[in-house]
Structure 1
Amino acid sequence: MESILIPLLILIAVVAGVLLLTRAASKHSQEAKESAAAASTPKEPAELARESAAKLNQEQHRRLYSLIAQGQGMAAIKLYLQATGEGLRASRDAVGALAAHPQPFTQEEPAQSPLADEDDDEPERFPYRYRAIVSKGDVTREVSSNMLNDEIYGRIRTLAKSGDTEGAALALTRHSDINIKQAREFVELMDD
């Protein structure tokens, strides 16, 4: 009986070890499948466009949009592929997103506190014009400026919605070429 007990214990230990290894391997493969599925989930086109534009320097960005504007999609994909080193499919998707959702060139800058941005004497000028339109009934107001962008306009809207209409009007005059009276009229329409 003793001669069978030792091999039986070894056999049980080996079976338990195999079961543990099999369970760990299946858990690892399941995690790998989930991460691959998450990685292959397509991004929103606007988000993809922002990320893709951030990978280009100013000259590459200019040339890429020049090719897109000329209808030379294949050349734009080739340029993006060479500039970023991404694959052909990723480059095709990126150029498609950039064409559908144009992105201004933004240079990575060191992070600043939001208060430091508001304390600047001179607002930053962007290489594009930003249009903001508000309307209420028959009244419509428009502001077009190369000193506005989504972030600044969002801060102005937040000020207006929180009840600080004077602060919103002052911020709007600081980032556009309109006077305080026009800015107050614009902010009053934005308030609702």
Structure 2
Amino acid sequence: MESLVIPVIILVVVAAGVAVAARAFSRRQSSAMEAGSVPPPDPVELARNAAAKLTEDQHRRLYALIAQGQAMAAIKLYYESTGDGLRAARDAVAALAAHPQPYRSPAPDVVEVEADDDAPQRFPYRYRAIASKGDVTREVSSNMLNDEIYGRIRTLARSGDTEAAANALIRHSDITLKQAREFIALLDE
């Protein structure tokens, strides 16, 4: 019987320690909730709010960086553009990448009338065009592309008018002429 006394005492001490630690942890959580800690914001709402802080040019450049996989550069651009903290910039860019937002001008009363049917139009989604040949793959992601526009660009490329196809791709995305020519070169066959 004496041999069981010491293990029982150790077991009681460990159980008491776990109970005290659990109680301290629950008190810390409840005091944090009472102090006004808010649950993390909805990522879609975070993306909307983040997009609203950007100008049209900043919005376009940020999504170009996201599409090119340059997360650090996108975070830096957002950080410098908005003045938000680094962690807030990281969270905003992650939300914008996961939930793409179209650019909304600050004055919604102004309606732009487009004179040209082929003038770039912004869609509420990002369109991804992928071209590959062999082991070379290029991707263009833009909210100014859709199936119809990309179809016209492919038709131009396949008919041999690569310059017109590259220029059309530039008008409907945020890539350089060199990148557009590389992409079109993978399309013409």
Larger-Rg structure: 1
Greater RCO (CA < 8 Å, at least 6 residues apart): 2
| The structure with more helix, counted as a fraction of residues | 1
Same-fold call, TM cutoff 0.5: no
TM-score, normalised on structure 1? 0.41
